[in-house]
Amino acid sequence: MSSTESLLSVAGLEVAYGRTAAVQGIDLVVGEGQVVSLIGANGAGKTTTLRALSGMMRPRAGRIVFAGADIAGLPAHRVAALGMRHVPEGRQIFAELTVDENLAMGAWLESDGAEIARRREQVLERFPRLRERLTQAAGTLSGGEQQMLALGRALMGAPRLLLLDEPSMGLAPLFVEEIFGIIEGLKREGVTILLVEQNASAALEVADTAYVLEGGRIALSGPALKVAHDPAVMAAYLGG
Amino acid sequence: MLAQQLVNGVLLGATYALFALGFTLMFGVLKVINLTYGFYFTAGAFAALFFTRYVVASVWLALPVAAIAAGIIAMACDGLLLTRLRRRGAPELSSLMVTVGAVLALNSAAAALFSPDIRRLPVGLVSVESFNFWGVRVTTAQFLVLGASIVLVGALIWLLRGTRVGVAIRAVAENPEAAGLMGINTGRTAALVSFVSGALAGAGGMLIGLNFNAIHPYMGEEMMLRGFVVVIVGGLGDIRGALIAGLMLGVVEVLTAGYIDSGMKEAVSFAILVLVLWTRPSGLFGAPKLRRA
Protein backbone atom coordinates (compact mmCIF):
# COMPACT_ATOMS: atom_id res chain seq x y z
CA MET A 1 0.00 0.00 0.00
CA SER A 2 1.43 3.37 -0.93
CA SER A 3 1.66 6.10 1.68
CA THR A 4 -0.63 8.39 -0.32
CA GLU A 5 -3.70 6.32 0.54
CA SER A 6 -2.70 5.73 4.13
CA LEU A 7 -4.68 7.60 6.77
CA LEU A 8 -1.95 7.26 9.38
CA SER A 9 1.72 6.74 8.84
CA VAL A 10 4.28 6.57 11.61
CA ALA A 11 8.04 6.60 11.07
CA GLY A 12 10.79 6.17 13.63
CA LEU A 13 8.52 6.75 16.61
CA GLU A 14 10.33 6.82 19.97
CA VAL A 15 8.57 7.39 23.27
CA ALA A 16 10.09 7.41 26.74
CA TYR A 17 8.94 7.68 30.34
CA GLY A 18 11.67 9.85 31.82
CA ARG A 19 14.83 8.02 30.81
CA THR A 20 13.16 4.67 30.21
CA ALA A 21 12.49 4.14 26.53
CA ALA A 22 9.19 2.33 26.01
CA VAL A 23 8.95 2.60 22.23
CA GLN A 24 12.24 2.54 20.36
CA GLY A 25 11.67 3.51 16.76
CA ILE A 26 8.63 1.95 15.16
CA ASP A 27 7.16 2.37 11.68
CA LEU A 28 3.51 1.72 11.13
CA VAL A 29 0.91 2.39 8.44
CA VAL A 30 -2.87 2.32 8.67
CA GLY A 31 -4.78 2.58 5.40
CA GLU A 32 -8.21 4.17 5.07
CA GLY A 33 -10.91 1.62 5.97
CA GLN A 34 -8.43 -0.91 7.33
CA VAL A 35 -8.38 -2.67 10.67
CA VAL A 36 -4.82 -2.94 11.94
CA SER A 37 -3.97 -4.96 15.04
CA LEU A 38 -1.01 -4.32 17.29
CA ILE A 39 -0.21 -7.36 19.39
CA GLY A 40 2.55 -8.17 21.84
CA ALA A 41 3.27 -9.06 25.43
CA ASN A 42 2.68 -6.81 28.43
CA GLY A 43 5.15 -3.94 28.40
CA ALA A 44 5.96 -4.30 24.71
CA GLY A 45 4.97 -0.66 24.14
CA LYS A 46 1.49 -1.09 22.65
CA THR A 47 -0.33 1.30 24.98
CA THR A 48 2.53 3.80 24.85
CA THR A 49 2.34 3.83 21.06
CA LEU A 50 -1.36 4.66 21.13
CA ARG A 51 -0.79 7.35 23.76
CA ALA A 52 1.82 9.02 21.58
CA LEU A 53 -0.45 8.84 18.53
CA SER A 54 -3.39 10.53 20.24
CA GLY A 55 -1.32 13.24 21.90
CA MET A 56 -1.57 11.94 25.47
CA MET A 57 2.24 11.68 25.49
CA ARG A 58 4.88 13.64 23.61
CA PRO A 59 7.06 11.38 21.51
CA ARG A 60 10.81 11.77 21.88
CA ALA A 61 11.41 11.39 18.16
CA GLY A 62 9.68 10.33 14.98
CA ARG A 63 7.01 11.48 12.57
CA ILE A 64 3.29 10.87 12.90
CA VAL A 65 1.33 11.88 9.82
CA PHE A 66 -2.43 11.68 10.21
CA ALA A 67 -4.86 12.78 7.50
CA GLY A 68 -2.05 14.68 5.84
CA ALA A 69 -0.92 16.62 8.92
CA ASP A 70 2.18 16.04 11.04
CA ILE A 71 0.67 15.60 14.49
CA ALA A 72 3.70 14.46 16.52
CA GLY A 73 3.70 16.45 19.78
CA LEU A 74 0.31 18.08 19.28
CA PRO A 75 -1.88 18.16 22.41
CA ALA A 76 -4.66 15.57 22.55
CA HIS A 77 -7.51 18.00 21.94
CA ARG A 78 -5.98 19.14 18.65
CA VAL A 79 -5.40 15.58 17.46
CA ALA A 80 -9.03 14.83 18.33
CA ALA A 81 -10.09 17.80 16.21
CA LEU A 82 -8.47 16.12 13.20
CA GLY A 83 -10.74 13.10 13.65
CA MET A 84 -8.75 10.62 15.73
CA ARG A 85 -10.59 9.05 18.65
CA HIS A 86 -8.72 7.08 21.29
CA VAL A 87 -10.59 4.70 23.59
CA PRO A 88 -7.88 4.45 26.24
CA GLU A 89 -6.81 1.61 28.44
CA GLY A 90 -9.16 1.25 31.38
CA ARG A 91 -11.94 2.96 29.39
CA GLN A 92 -11.70 6.24 31.33
CA ILE A 93 -15.37 7.08 31.09
CA PHE A 94 -16.51 10.04 33.19
CA ALA A 95 -17.86 8.03 36.12
CA GLU A 96 -19.60 10.97 37.78
CA LEU A 97 -21.36 12.18 34.66
CA THR A 98 -24.49 10.46 33.38
CA VAL A 99 -24.33 8.10 30.41
CA ASP A 100 -26.00 10.75 28.28
CA GLU A 101 -23.52 13.42 29.40
CA ASN A 102 -20.63 11.09 28.54
CA LEU A 103 -22.05 10.70 25.04
CA ALA A 104 -22.50 14.46 24.74
CA MET A 105 -18.84 14.95 25.61
CA GLY A 106 -17.91 12.55 22.84
CA ALA A 107 -19.47 15.00 20.40
CA TRP A 108 -17.90 18.06 22.04
CA LEU A 109 -16.30 19.21 18.79
CA GLU A 110 -19.57 19.04 16.85
CA SER A 111 -21.71 22.14 17.22
CA ASP A 112 -24.65 21.12 15.01
CA GLY A 113 -27.37 19.91 17.37
CA ALA A 114 -29.18 17.89 14.68
CA GLU A 115 -25.98 16.07 13.76
CA ILE A 116 -25.29 15.30 17.44
CA ALA A 117 -28.82 13.93 17.85
CA ARG A 118 -28.36 11.75 14.75
CA ARG A 119 -25.10 10.29 16.03
CA ARG A 120 -26.57 9.72 19.47
CA GLU A 121 -29.45 7.79 17.93
CA GLN A 122 -26.99 5.65 15.95
CA VAL A 123 -24.92 4.91 19.03
CA LEU A 124 -28.00 3.99 21.05
CA GLU A 125 -29.14 1.66 18.28
CA ARG A 126 -25.76 -0.01 18.32
CA PHE A 127 -25.74 -0.24 22.14
CA PRO A 128 -29.38 -0.61 23.24
CA ARG A 129 -28.24 -1.27 26.79
CA LEU A 130 -27.01 2.32 27.05
CA ARG A 131 -30.46 3.65 26.17
CA GLU A 132 -31.90 2.10 29.31
CA ARG A 133 -29.23 3.79 31.40
CA LEU A 134 -29.05 7.29 29.91
CA THR A 135 -29.69 9.17 33.14
CA GLN A 136 -27.57 6.90 35.32
CA ALA A 137 -24.13 7.94 36.55
CA ALA A 138 -21.67 6.14 34.27
CA GLY A 139 -19.72 4.82 37.26
CA THR A 140 -22.68 2.61 38.17
CA LEU A 141 -22.47 0.62 34.91
CA SER A 142 -20.94 -2.85 34.74
CA GLY A 143 -17.50 -3.27 33.18
CA GLY A 144 -18.93 -4.44 29.88
CA GLU A 145 -21.42 -1.59 29.76
CA GLN A 146 -18.65 0.88 30.54
CA GLN A 147 -16.67 -0.45 27.59
CA MET A 148 -19.71 0.03 25.37
CA LEU A 149 -20.09 3.56 26.69
CA ALA A 150 -16.40 4.26 25.99
CA LEU A 151 -16.86 2.97 22.43
CA GLY A 152 -20.13 4.84 22.00
CA ARG A 153 -18.55 8.03 23.33
CA ALA A 154 -15.74 7.71 20.79
CA LEU A 155 -18.22 7.06 17.96
CA MET A 156 -20.06 10.26 18.92
CA GLY A 157 -17.02 12.02 17.50
CA ALA A 158 -17.59 10.42 14.05
CA PRO A 159 -13.94 9.33 14.00
CA ARG A 160 -11.85 8.95 10.86
CA LEU A 161 -9.56 6.71 12.89
CA LEU A 162 -10.47 4.80 16.03
CA LEU A 163 -7.70 3.71 18.41
CA LEU A 164 -8.86 0.91 20.70
CA ASP A 165 -6.69 -0.07 23.65
CA GLU A 166 -7.54 -3.51 25.04
CA PRO A 167 -11.30 -3.25 24.55
CA SER A 168 -11.83 -6.78 25.84
CA MET A 169 -9.69 -6.45 28.98
CA GLY A 170 -11.35 -7.64 32.17
CA LEU A 171 -14.64 -8.49 30.48
CA ALA A 172 -16.70 -11.64 30.82
CA PRO A 173 -16.44 -13.97 27.77
CA LEU A 174 -19.92 -13.06 26.61
CA PHE A 175 -19.00 -9.36 26.54
CA VAL A 176 -15.69 -10.10 24.80
CA GLU A 177 -17.62 -11.77 22.02
CA GLU A 178 -20.02 -8.85 21.83
CA ILE A 179 -17.18 -6.31 21.67
CA PHE A 180 -15.47 -8.16 18.83
CA GLY A 181 -18.83 -8.43 17.08
CA ILE A 182 -19.10 -4.66 17.30
CA ILE A 183 -15.58 -4.20 15.93
CA GLU A 184 -16.52 -6.49 13.00
CA GLY A 185 -19.60 -4.36 12.42
CA LEU A 186 -17.61 -1.13 12.44
CA LYS A 187 -15.15 -2.65 10.01
CA ARG A 188 -17.97 -3.56 7.60
CA GLU A 189 -19.17 0.05 7.81
CA GLY A 190 -15.72 1.19 6.73
CA VAL A 191 -14.44 2.64 10.03
CA THR A 192 -10.64 2.64 10.19
CA ILE A 193 -9.39 1.02 13.38
CA LEU A 194 -6.02 0.57 15.08
CA LEU A 195 -6.55 -2.16 17.66
CA VAL A 196 -4.29 -3.07 20.57
CA GLU A 197 -5.18 -6.41 22.14
CA GLN A 198 -3.92 -9.06 24.50
CA ASN A 199 -6.43 -11.44 22.99
CA ALA A 200 -4.18 -12.06 19.97
CA SER A 201 -6.29 -14.69 18.22
CA ALA A 202 -9.40 -12.49 18.17
CA ALA A 203 -7.33 -9.45 17.20
CA LEU A 204 -5.71 -11.27 14.28
CA GLU A 205 -9.03 -12.63 13.13
CA VAL A 206 -10.63 -9.23 12.77
CA ALA A 207 -7.58 -7.42 11.34
CA ASP A 208 -6.40 -6.84 7.76
CA THR A 209 -2.84 -6.08 8.83
CA ALA A 210 -0.98 -6.93 12.01
CA TYR A 211 2.14 -5.73 13.79
CA VAL A 212 3.88 -7.67 16.52
CA LEU A 213 5.63 -5.48 19.10
CA GLU A 214 8.49 -6.79 21.21
CA GLY A 215 10.50 -4.65 23.60
CA GLY A 216 9.38 -1.42 21.96
CA ARG A 217 10.27 -2.54 18.44
CA ILE A 218 8.33 -4.14 15.62
CA ALA A 219 9.33 -7.79 15.47
CA LEU A 220 7.04 -8.77 12.63
CA SER A 221 4.39 -7.24 10.43
CA GLY A 222 2.25 -8.14 7.46
CA PRO A 223 -1.21 -9.34 6.45
CA ALA A 224 -3.00 -10.59 9.56
CA LEU A 225 -3.55 -14.04 8.11
CA LYS A 226 0.15 -14.44 7.45
CA VAL A 227 1.14 -13.16 10.89
CA ALA A 228 -1.35 -15.55 12.48
CA HIS A 229 0.37 -18.48 10.82
CA ASP A 230 3.88 -17.43 11.72
CA PRO A 231 5.34 -20.20 13.89
CA ALA A 232 6.94 -17.80 16.39
CA VAL A 233 3.69 -15.84 16.78
CA MET A 234 1.71 -19.05 17.18
CA ALA A 235 4.05 -20.21 19.90
CA ALA A 236 4.26 -16.92 21.77
CA TYR A 237 0.76 -15.44 21.47
CA LEU A 238 -1.66 -18.02 20.17
CA GLY A 239 -0.97 -20.82 22.60
CA GLY A 240 0.94 -23.03 20.19
CA MET B 1 -34.30 38.54 69.13
CA LEU B 2 -33.55 34.96 68.02
CA ALA B 3 -35.52 35.43 64.79
CA GLN B 4 -33.55 38.58 64.02
CA GLN B 5 -30.27 36.78 64.70
CA LEU B 6 -31.23 33.89 62.44
CA VAL B 7 -32.19 36.22 59.61
CA ASN B 8 -28.92 38.15 59.97
CA GLY B 9 -27.01 34.88 60.11
CA VAL B 10 -28.59 33.52 56.94
CA LEU B 11 -27.94 36.79 55.09
CA LEU B 12 -24.32 36.80 56.19
CA GLY B 13 -24.03 33.11 55.38
CA ALA B 14 -25.29 33.73 51.84
CA THR B 15 -22.18 35.79 51.10
CA TYR B 16 -19.94 33.20 52.76
CA ALA B 17 -21.51 30.55 50.57
CA LEU B 18 -21.03 32.67 47.46
CA PHE B 19 -17.39 33.26 48.33
CA ALA B 20 -16.71 29.62 49.17
CA LEU B 21 -18.42 28.37 46.00
CA GLY B 22 -15.77 29.90 43.79
CA PHE B 23 -13.03 28.53 46.00
CA THR B 24 -14.43 25.03 46.00
CA LEU B 25 -15.07 25.16 42.23
CA MET B 26 -11.48 26.21 41.63
CA PHE B 27 -10.20 23.36 43.77
CA GLY B 28 -12.66 20.85 42.32
CA VAL B 29 -11.56 21.48 38.74
CA LEU B 30 -7.99 22.72 38.96
CA LYS B 31 -7.02 20.56 41.96
CA VAL B 32 -5.04 23.28 43.65
CA ILE B 33 -5.65 25.16 46.88
CA ASN B 34 -5.24 28.64 45.44
CA LEU B 35 -4.57 31.10 48.25
CA THR B 36 -4.69 34.09 45.91
CA TYR B 37 -8.45 33.52 45.91
CA GLY B 38 -8.89 35.96 48.82
CA PHE B 39 -7.24 38.66 46.74
CA TYR B 40 -9.98 38.39 44.09
CA PHE B 41 -12.49 39.18 46.81
CA THR B 42 -10.54 42.33 47.72
CA ALA B 43 -10.14 43.19 44.04
CA GLY B 44 -13.89 42.95 43.47
CA ALA B 45 -14.61 45.23 46.41
CA PHE B 46 -12.08 47.82 45.21
CA ALA B 47 -13.34 47.63 41.63
CA ALA B 48 -16.84 48.35 42.92
CA LEU B 49 -15.52 51.17 45.10
CA PHE B 50 -13.70 52.96 42.29
CA PHE B 51 -16.48 52.33 39.81
CA THR B 52 -19.21 53.76 42.02
CA ARG B 53 -17.07 56.68 43.08
CA TYR B 54 -15.60 57.74 39.73
CA VAL B 55 -17.84 56.28 37.03
CA VAL B 56 -21.47 55.66 37.93
CA ALA B 57 -22.91 55.40 41.41
CA SER B 58 -25.06 52.41 40.56
CA VAL B 59 -25.16 49.20 42.55
CA TRP B 60 -26.60 47.30 39.58
CA LEU B 61 -23.71 48.19 37.34
CA ALA B 62 -21.08 47.90 40.07
CA LEU B 63 -21.87 44.26 40.76
CA PRO B 64 -21.07 42.97 37.24
CA VAL B 65 -18.07 45.31 37.08
CA ALA B 66 -16.69 43.89 40.34
CA ALA B 67 -17.33 40.32 39.17
CA ILE B 68 -15.77 40.77 35.72
CA ALA B 69 -12.74 42.67 37.03
CA ALA B 70 -12.03 40.02 39.67
CA GLY B 71 -12.65 37.26 37.13
CA ILE B 72 -10.08 38.71 34.74
CA ILE B 73 -7.54 39.11 37.55
CA ALA B 74 -8.15 35.50 38.62
CA MET B 75 -7.67 34.27 35.07
CA ALA B 76 -4.44 36.23 34.74
CA CYS B 77 -3.10 34.98 38.09
CA ASP B 78 -3.88 31.37 37.28
CA GLY B 79 -2.42 31.70 33.81
CA LEU B 80 0.79 33.33 35.03
CA LEU B 81 1.34 31.39 38.23
CA LEU B 82 -0.06 27.91 37.78
CA THR B 83 -0.34 26.94 34.09
CA ARG B 84 3.36 26.20 33.84
CA LEU B 85 3.28 24.01 36.96
CA ARG B 86 0.15 22.22 35.77
CA ARG B 87 1.68 21.44 32.41
CA ARG B 88 4.76 19.98 34.05
CA GLY B 89 2.66 17.95 36.48
CA ALA B 90 4.37 19.59 39.46
CA PRO B 91 3.40 18.36 42.94
CA GLU B 92 0.45 20.07 44.63
CA LEU B 93 2.71 21.50 47.29
CA SER B 94 4.61 23.58 44.70
CA SER B 95 1.37 25.11 43.44
CA LEU B 96 0.24 25.80 46.99
CA MET B 97 3.52 27.49 47.88
CA VAL B 98 3.46 29.60 44.71
CA THR B 99 0.05 30.91 45.72
CA VAL B 100 1.27 31.58 49.30
CA GLY B 101 4.03 33.79 47.91
CA ALA B 102 1.79 35.41 45.34
CA VAL B 103 -0.97 36.36 47.76
CA LEU B 104 1.49 37.99 50.17
CA ALA B 105 2.98 39.97 47.28
CA LEU B 106 -0.44 40.96 45.96
CA ASN B 107 -1.80 41.98 49.35
CA SER B 108 1.17 44.12 50.30
CA ALA B 109 1.17 45.73 46.86
CA ALA B 110 -2.52 46.53 47.30
CA ALA B 111 -1.89 47.93 50.79
CA ALA B 112 0.96 50.09 49.46
CA LEU B 113 -1.06 51.35 46.50
CA PHE B 114 -4.38 51.95 48.17
CA SER B 115 -3.27 52.45 51.81
CA PRO B 116 -4.55 50.04 54.44
CA ASP B 117 -7.29 52.46 55.55
CA ILE B 118 -10.89 51.37 55.64
CA ARG B 119 -12.90 52.93 52.81
CA ARG B 120 -16.62 53.16 52.26
CA LEU B 121 -18.84 52.97 49.24
CA PRO B 122 -20.43 56.33 48.30
CA VAL B 123 -23.19 57.46 50.64
CA GLY B 124 -26.64 56.88 49.20
CA LEU B 125 -25.53 54.06 46.90
CA VAL B 126 -28.18 51.91 48.52
CA SER B 127 -31.22 53.26 50.27
CA VAL B 128 -30.86 53.08 54.06
CA GLU B 129 -34.51 52.15 54.30
CA SER B 130 -35.26 48.95 56.16
CA PHE B 131 -38.27 46.71 56.23
CA ASN B 132 -40.00 45.21 59.19
CA PHE B 133 -41.43 41.70 59.06
CA TRP B 134 -43.15 40.72 62.28
CA GLY B 135 -40.47 42.45 64.28
CA VAL B 136 -37.54 41.26 62.16
CA ARG B 137 -35.67 44.13 60.53
CA VAL B 138 -34.10 43.64 57.10
CA THR B 139 -32.18 46.45 55.41
CA THR B 140 -32.24 47.20 51.69
CA ALA B 141 -28.54 46.26 51.53
CA GLN B 142 -29.32 42.89 53.08
CA PHE B 143 -32.08 42.27 50.53
CA LEU B 144 -29.69 43.14 47.78
CA VAL B 145 -27.03 40.81 49.15
CA LEU B 146 -29.49 37.95 49.40
CA GLY B 147 -31.01 38.54 45.95
CA ALA B 148 -27.61 38.80 44.26
CA SER B 149 -26.33 35.69 46.03
CA ILE B 150 -29.35 33.66 44.97
CA VAL B 151 -29.03 34.82 41.35
CA LEU B 152 -25.28 34.09 41.21
CA VAL B 153 -25.55 30.67 42.85
CA GLY B 154 -28.45 29.81 40.54
CA ALA B 155 -26.39 30.91 37.53
CA LEU B 156 -23.45 28.75 38.62
CA ILE B 157 -25.60 25.66 39.09
CA TRP B 158 -27.28 26.29 35.73
CA LEU B 159 -23.85 26.63 34.09
CA LEU B 160 -22.56 23.37 35.58
CA ARG B 161 -25.68 21.26 35.17
CA GLY B 162 -27.57 22.78 32.29
CA THR B 163 -24.98 23.68 29.67
CA ARG B 164 -22.57 21.73 27.48
CA VAL B 165 -19.71 23.91 28.72
CA GLY B 166 -20.65 23.05 32.28
CA VAL B 167 -20.64 19.34 31.54
CA ALA B 168 -17.20 19.81 29.98
CA ILE B 169 -16.01 21.58 33.14
CA ARG B 170 -17.19 18.62 35.22
CA ALA B 171 -15.55 16.22 32.76
CA VAL B 172 -12.24 18.06 33.08
CA ALA B 173 -12.61 18.06 36.88
CA GLU B 174 -12.98 14.30 36.90
CA ASN B 175 -10.48 13.26 34.25
CA PRO B 176 -8.57 15.95 32.36
CA GLU B 177 -6.74 13.38 30.24
CA ALA B 178 -9.93 11.75 28.96
CA ALA B 179 -11.46 15.20 28.47
CA GLY B 180 -8.56 16.08 26.18
CA LEU B 181 -9.29 12.97 24.11
CA MET B 182 -12.83 14.29 23.57
CA GLY B 183 -11.32 17.41 22.02
CA ILE B 184 -11.90 19.56 25.10
CA ASN B 185 -9.18 22.19 25.45
CA THR B 186 -8.31 21.71 29.12
CA GLY B 187 -6.15 24.85 29.27
CA ARG B 188 -9.05 26.97 28.10
CA THR B 189 -11.37 25.22 30.54
CA ALA B 190 -8.95 26.06 33.38
CA ALA B 191 -9.03 29.71 32.31
CA LEU B 192 -12.82 29.71 32.23
CA VAL B 193 -13.06 28.11 35.67
CA SER B 194 -10.60 30.69 37.03
CA PHE B 195 -12.72 33.46 35.58
CA VAL B 196 -15.97 32.12 37.02
CA SER B 197 -14.42 31.49 40.44
CA GLY B 198 -12.78 34.91 40.50
CA ALA B 199 -16.06 36.52 39.47
CA LEU B 200 -17.89 34.84 42.35
CA ALA B 201 -15.19 36.07 44.76
CA GLY B 202 -15.35 39.59 43.33
CA ALA B 203 -19.13 39.72 43.58
CA GLY B 204 -18.82 38.46 47.16
CA GLY B 205 -16.29 41.22 47.91
CA MET B 206 -18.59 43.92 46.70
CA LEU B 207 -21.59 42.48 48.58
CA ILE B 208 -19.68 42.17 51.86
CA GLY B 209 -18.32 45.68 51.32
CA LEU B 210 -21.91 46.82 50.95
CA ASN B 211 -23.22 44.86 53.90
CA PHE B 212 -20.55 46.03 56.36
CA ASN B 213 -19.75 49.26 54.55
CA ALA B 214 -16.01 48.65 54.90
CA ILE B 215 -13.47 48.02 52.15
CA HIS B 216 -9.75 47.55 52.81
CA PRO B 217 -6.82 45.64 51.25
CA TYR B 218 -6.83 42.83 53.81
CA MET B 219 -10.55 42.05 53.72
CA GLY B 220 -9.83 39.09 51.45
CA GLU B 221 -7.48 37.54 53.97
CA GLU B 222 -10.09 37.68 56.70
CA MET B 223 -12.54 36.13 54.32
CA MET B 224 -10.16 33.33 53.32
CA LEU B 225 -10.23 32.02 56.89
CA ARG B 226 -14.00 31.70 56.62
CA GLY B 227 -13.66 30.30 53.13
CA PHE B 228 -11.52 27.50 54.53
CA VAL B 229 -14.03 26.68 57.24
CA VAL B 230 -16.91 26.59 54.74
CA VAL B 231 -15.05 24.60 52.12
CA ILE B 232 -13.71 22.03 54.55
CA VAL B 233 -16.95 21.61 56.45
CA GLY B 234 -18.83 21.35 53.14
CA GLY B 235 -16.21 19.07 51.57
CA LEU B 236 -13.52 20.33 49.18
CA GLY B 237 -14.95 20.50 45.68
CA ASP B 238 -18.51 19.95 46.88
CA ILE B 239 -20.77 22.72 45.60
CA ARG B 240 -23.88 21.77 47.53
CA GLY B 241 -21.80 21.26 50.67
CA ALA B 242 -20.33 24.76 50.36
CA LEU B 243 -23.80 26.25 50.07
CA ILE B 244 -25.09 24.56 53.20
CA ALA B 245 -21.89 25.08 55.19
CA GLY B 246 -21.77 28.76 54.18
CA LEU B 247 -25.25 29.40 55.51
CA MET B 248 -24.45 27.41 58.66
CA LEU B 249 -21.30 29.40 59.35
CA GLY B 250 -23.16 32.70 58.97
CA VAL B 251 -25.77 31.58 61.50
CA VAL B 252 -23.17 30.19 63.92
CA GLU B 253 -21.16 33.42 63.82
CA VAL B 254 -24.15 35.64 64.43
CA LEU B 255 -25.46 33.44 67.25
CA THR B 256 -22.03 33.28 68.88
CA ALA B 257 -21.71 37.05 68.69
CA GLY B 258 -25.23 37.50 70.03
CA TYR B 259 -25.28 34.99 72.87
CA ILE B 260 -21.63 34.45 73.85
CA ASP B 261 -19.24 37.14 72.77
CA SER B 262 -18.48 38.68 69.39
CA GLY B 263 -14.78 38.05 69.97
CA MET B 264 -15.56 34.33 70.15
CA LYS B 265 -16.87 34.10 66.56
CA GLU B 266 -13.58 33.00 65.08
CA ALA B 267 -12.81 30.64 67.95
CA VAL B 268 -16.09 28.84 67.46
CA SER B 269 -15.70 28.70 63.67
CA PHE B 270 -12.27 27.18 63.91
CA ALA B 271 -13.28 24.77 66.62
CA ILE B 272 -15.89 23.51 64.14
CA LEU B 273 -13.24 23.26 61.45
CA VAL B 274 -11.00 21.15 63.66
CA LEU B 275 -13.88 18.95 64.78
CA VAL B 276 -14.95 18.28 61.20
CA LEU B 277 -11.41 17.46 60.12
CA TRP B 278 -11.11 15.02 63.02
CA THR B 279 -14.39 13.26 62.47
CA ARG B 280 -15.37 13.76 58.80
CA PRO B 281 -12.22 14.64 56.86
CA SER B 282 -13.99 14.76 53.52
CA GLY B 283 -16.66 17.13 54.82
CA LEU B 284 -20.05 16.77 56.44
CA PHE B 285 -21.75 15.71 53.24
CA GLY B 286 -19.57 12.87 52.03
CA ALA B 287 -16.97 12.49 49.32
CA PRO B 288 -15.80 15.58 47.45
CA LYS B 289 -17.66 15.58 44.17
CA LEU B 290 -18.49 18.28 41.70
CA ARG B 291 -21.40 16.12 40.62
CA ARG B 292 -23.22 17.32 43.69
CA ALA B 293 -23.69 20.74 42.13
Determine whether the interchain pair B177/A92 forms a contact, defined as Cβ–Cβ distance below 8 Å.
yes
Q: Per-residue confidence at B286, pLDDT binned at 50, 70, 90?
A: low
Q: What is the CATH number of domain B2-92+110-115+128-279?
A: 1.10.3470
Closest partner residue to B170 (CB to CB) among A76, A81, A96 is A96
Query: Measured between CA atoms, how close is A89 to chain B, in angstroms?
Result: 11
Which pLDDT tens digit goes with each residue over A21-57? Answer: 999 999 999 999 999 999 998 889 999 999 999 999 9
What's chain B's length in residues? 293
Tell which residue, A108, A154, A182, has the closest CA to residue B164.
A108
With 0-12 / 13-18 / 19 or more C-beta atoms within 10 angstroms meaning exposed / middle / buried, residue B80 is exposed
Q: Where are the domains of chain B?
A: 2-92+110-115+128-279
Query: Measured between CA atoms, how close is B165 to chain A, in angstroms?
Result: 9
How confident is the model at residue B41, as a pLDDT?
96
Top residue of A56, A84, A105 to mutate, by most chain B CBs within 10 Å, is A105
What's chain A's length in residues? 240
Q: Per-residue confidence at A240, pLDDT binned at 50, 70, 90?
A: low
How confident is the model at residue B293, as a pLDDT?
45
**Given its phi and psi angles, is residue A73 left (phi above 0), alpha (psi -120 to 50 degrees) or beta?**
left
Determine whether the interchain pair A77/B185 forms a contact, defined as Cβ–Cβ distance below 8 Å.
yes
Query: Measured between CA atoms, how close is A238 to chain B, in angstroms?
Result: 32
Q: Per-residue confidence at B92, pLDDT binned at 50, 70, 90?
A: confident
CA distance A12 to A23: 9
Query: Measured between CA atoms, how close is B22 to chain A, in angstroms?
Result: 20
Q: Per-residue confidence at B191, pLDDT binned at 50, 70, 90?
A: very high
Top residue of A47, A56, A82, A101 to mutate, by most chain B CBs within 10 Å, is A101
Which pLDDT tens digit goes with each residue over B137-189? Answer: 888 888 888 999 999 999 999 999 999 999 999 999 999 999 999 999 999 99
The residues of A whose Cβ lies within 8 A of any Cβ of B are 54-56, 75-77, 80-81, 85-86, 88, 92-97, 101, 104-106, 108-109, 137, 153, 157
**Model confidence, pTM:** 0.90
Which pLDDT tens digit goes with each residue over A72-92? Answer: 999 999 999 999 999 999 999
Closest partner residue to B182 (CB to CB) among A56, A105, A137 is A105
Determine whether the interchain pair A77/B184 forms a contact, defined as Cβ–Cβ distance below 8 Å.
yes
Determine whether the interchain pair B180/A55 forms a contact, defined as Cβ–Cβ distance below 8 Å.
yes
Which pLDDT tens digit goes with each residue over B55-67? Answer: 988 888 999 999 9
Does residue B44 have a pLDDT over 80?
Answer: yes
